[in-house]
Every structure is written in C-alpha cells, then in structure tokens.
Chain A
Amino acid sequence: MSLQTGTGFWDPLLWVVAFAIALLISYLIWARGESTYHKDTEAVKPYLSGNAEPEKGEVHIRAGNMYWGFTEALKGYYSRVVPLHSGILNDYVLWFIATAALVLVIVGVIG
C-alpha cells in the first residue's frame, strides 16, 4: 500500500488512521469543555466591552487586506514582475518569440 518514492516511502492509510485518532482525541477534549454554552442564547453574541456590534460586512477581513506584509516585503520583485503582465497581446507575442530565439541560441551553441 505504501508509495515508493525512490529513497523512502509514504503510507497514506497509516496517516489517515493517525489523523482519525487525533480527531477522536480532539473531540473528547471538546466534549469535556464548557457545558453551559448553548446555541441560540446570549452566549453566542460577541462581547465587545459594551460597544455595539459592527455591521457584518465590516467585521469580515477582505482579501485585499491579507498578505500585505508579504507583498510589501517583496516590493522590489513585484514592482518588476507585475508590469510585465501588461495584458497587451503584442507583449505576449514578443515574449514568446524572444524565448524561442533564446532557446534556439542555447541549443545552437551548446548542441
């Protein structure tokens, strides 16, 4: 059943069994949790130090606000790569032809 990777192996069924055991343990811990919590009661309402709950749309963190740090850290990379994706067909063709020419030179020179 194990997947042979050349230098090792991978047994997915063993992993599934281990994952199922971990889930069972998680469930048992969860089942022993707070027993006074019930759905459809005050317990489900967010506690915001007495402030009014914001609109649902304002609570959700949108995609544009995620990974800002990542793109900011790689600003130097993105400032060069993103403009290459110009959306202009002429550029697409140019890249295609240029790549073909480069590969032809490499193959022509090296063999």
Chain B
Amino acid sequence: MIQDIILQNSPALLLAVPMLGAFATPLFGRISGTVRNAWVLLVMAATLAISLVLGFEVLTNGTMVYTFGAAAPSLSIPADSGGIPIRIIFTVDAMSVFMAISASIVAFAVTLYSLVSQKMSTGKDGYYALLILMLVGILGMVCTGDIFNFFVFLEINSLAGAALVAYRVDKGLAVEGGLKYAVISTLGGLMVLFSVALLYGQYDTLNIAMIAERMQFTFLDQVALVMLIVALAMKAGAVPMHFWTPDAYSMAPSAVTALLIVASQASLYGVFRVAFTLYGVALNWVTIGWIVIILGVLSMFVGVTMAIPQKDVKRLMAYHAVSQTGYMLLGVGVGLAVLGDPEMMKLFGLTAMEGGIFHIINHAMYKGLLFLTAGAIFYQTGTRNLNKLGGLGHSMKWTMLFFIIGALAIAGIPPFNGFASKLMIYESVFLFNPLLSIIAMVVSVLTLASFVKVFHSIFMGPKLPEYEEVKEVPGPMLAGMGILALLVVLFGIFPQQIVDILIAPAAGALIDQSGYIESVLGGI
C-alpha cells in the first residue's frame, strides 16, 4: 500500500523530499551539527532512492505524467479546461530519469564529502540548505513538463549556485565569482522568461507538450528558440559564453563545483529538450543542429587549449569542463542535424546522440571526482597553485589513485567510462563529418597532455619539505570520491549495459516528440 503511494507520487516526492530537507536543515542545525549532518545525508540518500524508484518505474512502464492538484496524478487535462492542461504537470520520461539519477548520485557523493571538507567552515546550515536547494532546482528542471515551471527551477538552481560559489565570503574572489555567476545567470534567466512569454502569448499554454503540438514555427517562435538555446547553452558553459565558468568553478568549494557541473548539465538538458521536444521537426533541424555542433566544437577546442597553460588546478579543470561539454553538444548536435532524415538517424544519428548523452553521466562522475580530488589537495595543502604543489603521491595515495582514474576517464583512456562514450561519438560523428571526429580525437589527446601535467605537478617528484606533514584526507572524503571512482570504473567496464538500461531509452525519449505529446495530451 505505502509502496504504491510512494511509486504513484514519486515525481512529486523527488522534489518534495529535498525541498523539505533544505528548509528543515537550519532547524536541525539548532540541535547540533551532528544531527544536521545526519539529516542532510538522510535527505540526499532518500532523494537518491526516490530517483532510482522513479527511474525503475519509468524505464519499465514508460513516461510518467504527474499533475499537481488533480484528483488523480494522471489526469493531465481537466474536463472544463477546454482541452488545455492548466495545472503544473511533471512529464518524466527516460531522459528525465537519466538526468535525475545522475544528479542524485553526484549530490549524495558530494554531501558525504562535504561532511569533512566543510568541517572547519562556518555557516554550514546555509551551506547544506543551499546545496539541497540546488539539487531541487536541477531535479525540477529535468522533470517538469511546464515551460514556466522550468524557468522557476532554473532560477532556484542559479540562485542557490551563485550563493554557494560565494560561500567563502572572506575571499573576495569567491564573492566576485558568485556575483558574475549571478549576473550572467539572471540575464540568461530573463531571456528564458521572455521566450516563455512569447510562446505563451501565441499558444495560450505553458505546457511543453501542448506548445509542441501547436507549434507553427513563426518568427516569434524562432526568436524564442534562439533565446532559449543561447541562454541555456551559456548556462551549460558553451564557448563563446563560457567565461563565467572558470571564475565560478574555481572559487566555489570543491564539493559545490562537482554539483555545479550537474547544474550546468541540467541546462544542457534544457537545450536538448527545447530542440527535440518543444520544437522537434518543426524547426530547421540542419541549421539548429549545425549551430549546436559549432558551439560544441568551439567548446571542445577553446576549452582544452585554455586549460593547458593554467596554473590553478581548479581553473584548469573548469576549462576542461567546458571542453567536455563540447563533446555532448557535438554528439547530440549531430543527432539533431539529421533529425528529419530517418536513414541517417538510423545509420549514425542515434548512436551519436547516445554517445553524447552517455557522456553527460560519465562527465558528471569523472569531473565530479576530479573536482573532489582537487578539493582534497586544497584541504590538505591550502593551495590550488600547481607551481607550488608536488610530491603528494607519497602521502596521499588514495587521492592520487582517484585522480588517476578521473584523469584517464576524462582523457578517454580505456577501460574507463570516458572512453566508451567518446568512442561512440568518434565513430558515429565520423560518418557525419570526418573532420569533426578528428577534432574530437585531437582534443582528447590534448586533454591527456593537460592531465599528465597536473598529475606530475601535484603527485610526482620528491616529497617536498613544506608538505612533510601532509596526510591522506579523512574517510568520508575518500568515501565521496570512492563512490564516483567506482562508478567511473563500472560504467567503463560495462558500457553496453548502461547504454541498454539508461542511455538508449533516454535518446529514444528525446527523439520521440509524438510520444511525449501523447503521454500528456492523450489522457483527456
């Protein structure tokens, strides 16, 4: 009975549990730090469990529609509404649960890590509340079927993220990074809101499925499309709108940075959802596909070349995050460019999309892991400057091992997860345009070169006198890194299983616009 209730209401619980958790966190903090930490960990574990339950349900029985305030959650269109879904509706398909599971895993790992990494900081009630709220924003963005509701969750995501970037208020640069993130996010948010207004003005509805069904691709729709894609691509860190990423990623606490990666990916999800589901075949898929591809190639190349000369390990990793986002844009962009051509889609488009989507979860795991290792280094040495570090492999062996796993994965070295998704991208994109595939491979080589430098600078060499007393980080931090490292390895060794269970259904859901519309409007 209880199981049925949880299952039936899992889309709402996925948001309600962390939201309650976030607002109750300061109350538990009044009791004691230990109670608050236990509460936060419990909330994150419960959210992860709900996302897995929801994932199982959706992957087994198909898209789940949840209508807030209706007599029954599946009643998306009230009898007296004139056929318009007026309530807020969550439309949770395989792509949504894929993103939700990815975000929940990383959120749980970074919370575990934060228990120790933030031990010496003040204001932890606010820190954890904001961390959970950021997760709420991410989960809301990927689950909602309402375009205005998407904007609301985007704002929650951005505001919580900006506050967390500026968390170390004693550091001027952190506040500056947070301010930059807040301003640029607000501008992006305004563009999204304006696009929502344009669509609402034309179609009298905010429901994504309903707008998609009525889409005429007028000039105003084109304006809305451009603003949505550009604003969300900027939030995802695509070149040439990536400038905020090194400032924000490098100054946030490392656990926050790992979750910011997922927050950016939620915006990337927004780009894909807008292109494939909201507009679908109504748009000129070749033009938009190539725009996404060009953003991807620019991100890959500029990101990696800017990473190589960096001296701050977190700025370096931030530029690599930009570069890796390029792979996702490239893979899914190729799928978009052949969206209206069933033959090309079958030949390579779907595989390219699967590669790009697979890279999302892989990137969340290995880049989250790499940022956590950077945080572990900072935690023990107090510096992120690569010119000052060295010889830590003698005293931080576990951190070094986790770094090696993350570095090899991001560089696309087998048998780690990054290789599997990149291989899918290389081979499928090669059939579309060989030059794009070659650029992607060159970028991987440069990524490896960059991380060889980082590895040598931090871990190799003799034990330096200034780090004579440095020890390995405490257990919870290692456990946080260990969870992500384990997933990096498992996803790399069993890639086809992950593709079959999570990735292929997600890609299928993305290109199935009629299925998405039917799931909402079919329930009249």
- A residues in contact (CB < 8 Å) with B: 1-8, 10, 12-13, 15-16, 19, 55-57, 59-64, 66-67, 70-71, 74, 77-78, 81-82, 84-85, 87, 89, 91-93, 95-96, 99-100, 103-104, 106-108, 110-111
Among A16, A84, A99, A110, max chain B CB count under 10 A is at A99
Is B226 within 8 A of A111, CB to CB?
no
Instruction: List 26 A–B pairs whose Cβ atoms lie within 8 Å, in order of A's numbering.
Output: A1-B494, A3-B424, A5-B427, A6-B428, A10-B419, A10-B495, A12-B415, A16-B493, A56-B462, A56-B464, A56-B465, A57-B464, A57-B465, A59-B462, A60-B462, A61-B461, A62-B386, A63-B389, A64-B387, A66-B457, A71-B309, A82-B309, A85-B243, A89-B183, A96-B234, A107-B291
Give the residues in chain B near A77, CB-CB below 8 Å.
305
Give the residues in chain B near A89, CB-CB below 8 Å.
179-180, 183-184
Query: B492 at the A/B interface (Cβ < 8 Å)?
Result: yes
**What's the least CB distance linking B478 to chain A, in Å?**
24
Ordered nearest first, which 3 A-B pairs have the shortest CB separation? A63-B386, A60-B461, A6-B351
- Using A10-B495, A56-B391, A95-B243 as known contacts, say yes or no to A70 and B227 having CB atoms under 8 A apart: no
Give the residues in chain B near A13, CB-CB below 8 Å.
493
* C-alpha spacing A108/B348, complex, angstroms: 29
Is B415 within 8 A of A91, CB to CB?
no
B residues 158-183 touching A (CB-CB < 8 Å) = 179-180, 183
Is A96 within 8 A of B184, CB to CB?
yes
Is A67 within 8 A of B449, CB to CB?
yes
Give the residues in chain B near A91, CB-CB below 8 Å.
243
Is A93 within 8 A of B453, CB to CB?
no
Is B386 within 8 A of A3, CB to CB?
no
Is A107 within 8 A of B493, CB to CB?
no
Minimal Cβ-Cβ distance residue in B for A5: B427
Is B230 within 8 A of A66, CB to CB?
no
Is A66 within 8 A of B453, CB to CB?
yes
Is B187 within 8 A of A107, CB to CB?
no
Give the residues in chain B near A5, CB-CB below 8 Å.
351, 423-424, 427-428
- Using A16-B415, A66-B453, A85-B243 as known contacts, say yes or no to A96 and B230 having CB atoms under 8 A apart: yes
Give the residues in chain A near B183, CB-CB below 8 Å.
89, 93
**What's the least CB distance linking A55 to chain B, in Å?**
8
**What's the least CB distance linking B165 to chain A, in Å?**
14
* C-alpha spacing A21/B225, complex, angstroms: 54
Per-position contact with A for B364-394: 1 when CB-CB < 8 Å, else 0?
Answer: 0000000000000000000000111111000
Minimal Cβ-Cβ distance residue in A for B288: A107
Give the residues in chain A near B302, CB-CB below 8 Å.
81
* C-alpha spacing A67/B386, complex, angstroms: 13
- Using A70-B308, A71-B308, A99-B230 as known contacts, say yes or no to A12 and B424 having CB atoms under 8 A apart: no
**What's the least CB distance linking B358 to chain A, in Å?**
10
Query: B222 at the A/B interface (Cβ < 8 Å)?
Result: yes
Kindly identify which residue among B225, B230, B244, B305 contacts A92, using a CB–CB cutoff of 8 Å. B244
Is B309 within 8 A of A59, CB to CB?
no
- Using A3-B495, A67-B449, A111-B287 as known contacts, say yes or no to A93 and B229 having CB atoms under 8 A apart: no
B residues 289-325 touching A (CB-CB < 8 Å) = 291, 302, 305-306, 308-309, 311
Is A67 within 8 A of B309, CB to CB?
yes
Per-position contact with A for B387-422: 1 when CB-CB < 8 Å, else 0?
Answer: 111110000000000000000000000110001100
Among A4, A67, A92, max chain B CB count under 10 A is at A92
Give the residues in chain A near B69, CB-CB below 8 Å.
none
Is A78 within 8 A of B493, CB to CB?
no
Known: A56-B463, A61-B456, A110-B287. 19 other contacts (CB 8 A): A1-B494, A3-B420, A3-B423, A3-B495, A3-B496, A6-B427, A15-B414, A56-B464, A57-B465, A63-B453, A63-B456, A67-B308, A74-B305, A81-B302, A81-B305, A84-B240, A89-B184, A96-B188, A103-B291
Query: B191 at the A/B interface (Cβ < 8 Å)?
Result: yes
